[in-house]
Amino acid sequence: VVVQLTGIAPVAETERSVTRRICKAIKAQIGAGRFGLGARLPSTRSLAAEWGVSRTTVTAAYEQLIAEGYLETRRGARARVAQSLVRDISTKQRPAPERIAHRLSRYGQRLDAFSLPPTPSGSVNVDFRYGDMSAADFPTLVWKKAVSAALLRRPKRLRYGDPNGSPELRAALQGYLWRARGLRCDAEQIVVVNGSQQGLDLCARLLLDPGDRVFIENPSYNLAQQTFIAAGAELIPLDVDREGMRTDGLRDARLAYVTPSHQFPLGSVLSAGRRQDLLAWAQRSGAYVIEDDYDSEYRFDIGPIPALQTLDRAERVIYLGTVSKTLSPTLRLGYLVVPAALRFAFGKAKRLADRHTPGLEQEALADLLASGAYERHVRRARRRNGSRRAALLSALSDILGDQVTVVGADAGLHVLVWLNQVPRAQEDELIARARAAGLGLHAISPLYAHPVSDGRPDLAGLVMGYASLSEQDIEQGVRGLKLILDHFGPSPCADG
Amino acid sequence: VVVQLTGIAPVAETERSVTRRICKAIKAQIGAGRFGLGARLPSTRSLAAEWGVSRTTVTAAYEQLIAEGYLETRRGARARVAQSLVRDISTKQRPAPERIAHRLSRYGQRLDAFSLPPTPSGSVNVDFRYGDMSAADFPTLVWKKAVSAALLRRPKRLRYGDPNGSPELRAALQGYLWRARGLRCDAEQIVVVNGSQQGLDLCARLLLDPGDRVFIENPSYNLAQQTFIAAGAELIPLDVDREGMRTDGLRDARLAYVTPSHQFPLGSVLSAGRRQDLLAWAQRSGAYVIEDDYDSEYRFDIGPIPALQTLDRAERVIYLGTVSKTLSPTLRLGYLVVPAALRFAFGKAKRLADRHTPGLEQEALADLLASGAYERHVRRARRRNGSRRAALLSALSDILGDQVTVVGADAGLHVLVWLNQVPRAQEDELIARARAAGLGLHAISPLYAHPVSDGRPDLAGLVMGYASLSEQDIEQGVRGLKLILDHFGPSPCADG
């Protein structure tokens, strides 16, 4: 049977080459059943005449279809529809979307409980969102120079890098961690990761099985909680007071996640006694402690608190650092310091996760660390954020007075503000009203893994980040908060 | 008890401030047991005199130690050693390293079977390692300009980006995939990942539970195999012939991983009939198909093979692309096209994996795609690699003749070379001899998940990548291979 290629449907303009159009037409004919299995195709001569193209073009189309398995040919014979083409899929009914079953792994199912953050809307004038940084603070020229230098000194060949991180960056980080944090380690213990989130995720994958227990501070960083929940772990929240996480509740578990230098979000420092308790517990029970040192560069009135890792004698602490608070959250650069015995496991997990952290970023950061530019930048960023902090603290005090109680202001890039006249039950309403007025406020409640905590007053609380705001914005934001708060006065009688 | 701070051990030069040195000294004294719990510290006046510093300095040290929880103080009273400091950890015996137990998750234990790649040694003159790219082919100036532009047009604030990828890059990729691969999708279906490895890893996490079955091609990409094994899956290898993976062995499973446009490493194209079989199987069994389209930009004699995804009517195919073969493997940029119903699950998993892919890289790639510079670059890279391929094919033919059989040369950046006179058992020895002679060769055997395959000849085979080599290097490398092969002749009688 020779089938005529007449009545071909109009071809979309986006089809770029005639060859491609011929291929598409033949596939459509096969799909519509005009060519049966084994049917001979037109000769290249007749098809060329029909399309008004050269035979070479038609031959190219046939070769393409042979390569794709639609046609087959025997020496000297005309091309035929491949016998292996059992059924027509191009005309098959597409199942109705609701009938399509999508089944996820248990890991995927556990993610269902989480929501993605809403796309930031442009209507917010002042946003105290924690984690945002001012683009003006980023050392643009220094970074641009470092990236350009890295691009120009490229080796002859580009190949996958060391999964644990580039040797240059790890050596530079080793020196930095010793200078800035008193932390002694071998460069081999350092694993370069895509921001602290990847560090947490690698820890969860390597250390936790479903059902394992993990101690966390209550309240604590919500993505850390999600990471452990996604791993199938059982979270056990421990209350936080002025000495940091209460360690008297520690019992058998696989992991504890702590922010000992500056508890997130409450701001307390884990006391020396509790550090001892925590490390002794970890050693006794064979558990690990993740020390998230997320903002230790910013400590304003006292010196830096030594890392918990420096007290660890039993290879129990995994130290987690980031440049998200010093350079930019969008760079996605962080590092782990892991017990030497675990470095290969982390390297293998990192390799399967994404081979390695992007090369140019690693080189640029290594450059900044080696030249001292990073520490100069950190000192400048600390001064700038010190001014923002001062502006926020004095605005809170001057404008809001005893309407608020401010805690955790010694360090970091946020303060915690309890609203003395707003009960916790009205937190959501307050946030919504503020947003309607163009003011971005962020509640503490979502950070509590367990709603009941001894230390928590029955008040609405705000995590107020200030690193992305100017002093003017900060004052304007606090004035906006004042307006909102005046709707939440102690009693309606106070009105008028 | 007032304890004298005499006999303080010499302080290392690296201690930077006097405050820090005083803190360290006091901690050491507490650690050594010279201060009991509750012991009063020297007055600031006497300690200042002893150190020859101002009282302010000593006060700062005491405040630091109070903040860290080593000391406590009551209004007006002298500082004391904190009562909560129950035990001295600084003098605690460090357990002998061999006595420290490190227990990994089952995921971590499964990684034990894998080895990390050896650090590349500098002694190799010509290396045919697949995956390496020539740095000279990288569009350095274009990339530098795009990164600089992205740095300079930064918004006012730096904040975490969309976990699924920047809207600009996803829109640009959508257009590119339609132009280059005939692939129609919504931008919302695209997930930007850190190279195809992260795409594979996210698929494994979201779709596989331990014990699930996964079909793979035999042979196939070894890191894909490792990713599924690490997820606890049972791998079922299917033989590959000239029509790609044999689909007659498909039965109930959760996933199939295929390279339909250019089977890695054998080079065949999955035929149209088998594409139908594969998609029908996936629809029938509710399984997913990962289409790894790792090198479709490089197809030399025929046009590009349409993506399997274009035939999918039942939301079964997850398409995986990368710029590792067009720009650089060290950038770590890739993308998934996932069924619309799965986009939130992938977004949540990506967010927990590392928040999002680095921002500057995403912006730069979006720029290159939008301006047409990416496709111009790909055309240039295709020409350059076409010349390398021609050099390799003619060197193999001219120098080695019937000592080798070359397959899979239509496309991609590698060819597969069977060594007709070297039995498979001698593959390792050949590789080792070549390496000793400064020639990097890479065997096919590690890519076989199952050593028995109908299609595999009982010969040593080499995966020869050429994208990082000059034509001269390629010829020199093949001459080197000739020298090695002459030691593996058909019989010793053939010698001299």
Cβ(B264)–Cβ(B242) below 8 Å: no
Give me the pLDDT at residue B10, please: 35
* Rounded Cα–Cα distance for residues B149 and A177 (Å): 32
- The secondary element (H helix, E strand) that includes residue B109 is helix B106-111
* Rounded Cα–Cα distance for residues B107 and B110 (Å): 5
Report the alpha-carbon angle B455-B461-B462, nearest 5. 130
Give me the pLDDT at residue B494, please: 41
User: If we measure between CA atoms, which residue out of B30, B40, B3 comes closest to residue B87?
Assistant: B30
**Predicted confidence band of residue B111 (pLDDT cuts 50, 70, 90):** very high
Cβ(B217)–Cβ(B235) below 8 Å: no
Looking at this protein, which amino acid is placed at residue A390?
A
Looking at this protein, which amino acid is placed at residue B120?
P
Task: Give the position of tokens 């201690």.
Answer: B15
Tokens, residue B303:
């046009």
Give the length of chain B.
Answer: 496
The three-class DSSP label of residue B214 is: strand
> pLDDT under 70 in chain A at which residues?
1-16, 86-99, 119-122, 302, 489-496
- Average the pLDDT over B240-267 and give the result: 95
pLDDT over 90 (residue B8): no
Cβ(B196)–Cβ(B294) below 8 Å: yes
Q: What is the ipTM of this complex?
A: 0.86
Q: How far is CA B140 from the centre of its chain?
A: 22
Contact B89/A at CB under 8 A = yes
User: If we measure between CA atoms, which residue out of A156, A111, A154, A258 comes closest to residue B473?
Assistant: A156
Give me the pLDDT at residue B122, please: 61
Q: In what order do the strands lie in the sheet with A213-218?
A: A190-193, A334-337, A317-322, A288-292, A255-258, A213-218, A234-241, A244-245
* Rounded Cα–Cα distance for residues A113 and B24 (Å): 47
Give me the pLDDT at residue B77, please: 79
Give me the pLDDT at residue B92, please: 46
Q: For B320-344, write each residue's pLDDT tens digit.
A: 999 999 999 999 999 999 999 999 9
Give me the pLDDT at residue B86, please: 58
For residue A170, list chain B residues with Cβ-Cβ distance below 8 A: none
Cβ(A139)–Cβ(A377) below 8 Å: yes
Give me the pLDDT at residue B121, please: 62
Give me the pLDDT at residue B257, please: 98
pLDDT over 90 (residue B100): no
> What is the rounded average pLDDT for all residues in chain B?
88
* Rounded Cα–Cα distance for residues B432 and B442 (Å): 10
pLDDT over 90 (residue B408): no
Task: Give the position of tokens 């001899």.
Answer: B433
DSSP one-letter string for A5-25: --SPPPPPTT---HHHHHHHH
Give me the pLDDT at residue A6, please: 36
User: If we measure between CA atoms, which residue out of B442, B430, B478, B466 comes closest to residue B219?
Assistant: B442
For residue B132, list chain A residues with Cβ-Cβ distance below 8 A: 157-159
Nearest to B354 among A105, A107, A194 (CB): A194
Least confident stretch, A96-105, B7-16, B102-111, B157-166: B7-16
pLDDT over 80 (residue B437): yes
* Rounded Cα–Cα distance for residues A166 and B132 (Å): 17
Give me the pLDDT at residue A140, please: 95
Nearest to A331 among B271, B341, B358 (CB): B358
Q: Do the Cβ atoms of B273 and A84 come within 8 Å?
A: yes
For residue B163, list chain A residues with Cβ-Cβ distance below 8 A: 116
Q: Do the Cβ atoms of B105 and A355 come within 8 Å?
A: no
Looking at this protein, which amino acid is placed at residue B206?
L
Q: For B144-159, write each residue's pLDDT tens digit.
A: 999 999 998 878 889 9
Nearest to B330 among A195, A283, A358 (CB): A358
Q: Could you tell me the maximum CA-CA distance found in chain B, to the nearest angstrom?
A: 100
pLDDT over 90 (residue B310): yes
Nearest to B67 among A269, A355, A357 (CB): A269
Could you say which DSSP state residue B92 is in? S
Give me the pLDDT at residue A331, please: 96
Contact A283/B at CB under 8 A = yes
Q: For B22-43, write each residue's pLDDT tens digit.
A: 888 888 777 777 777 778 888 8
Task: Quote the crossing angle between the two packed helices B373-395 and B167-181, to the nearest 10°.
Answer: 50
Q: Do the Cβ atoms of A151 and B140 come within 8 Å?
A: yes
Report the alpha-carbon angle A299-A301-A302, nearest 5. 75
Give me the pLDDT at residue A98, please: 60
Q: For B180-224, write each residue's pLDDT tens digit.
A: 888 989 999 999 999 999 999 999 999 999 999 999 999 999 999
**Predicted confidence band of residue B6 (pLDDT cuts 50, 70, 90):** very low
Distance from CA of A492 to the nearest CA of B (A): 39
User: If we measure between CA atoms, which residue out of B224, B169, B176 comes closest to residue B191?
Assistant: B169
Give me the pLDDT at residue B233, please: 97
User: If we measure between CA atoms, which residue out of A393, A414, A406, A416 comes closest to residue A475?
Assistant: A393
pLDDT over 50 (residue B288): yes
Distance from CA of A420 to the nearest CA of B (A): 26
Give me the pLDDT at residue B72, please: 84
Least confident stretch, A344-353, B89-98, B148-157, B422-431: B89-98
Give me the pLDDT at residue A319, please: 98
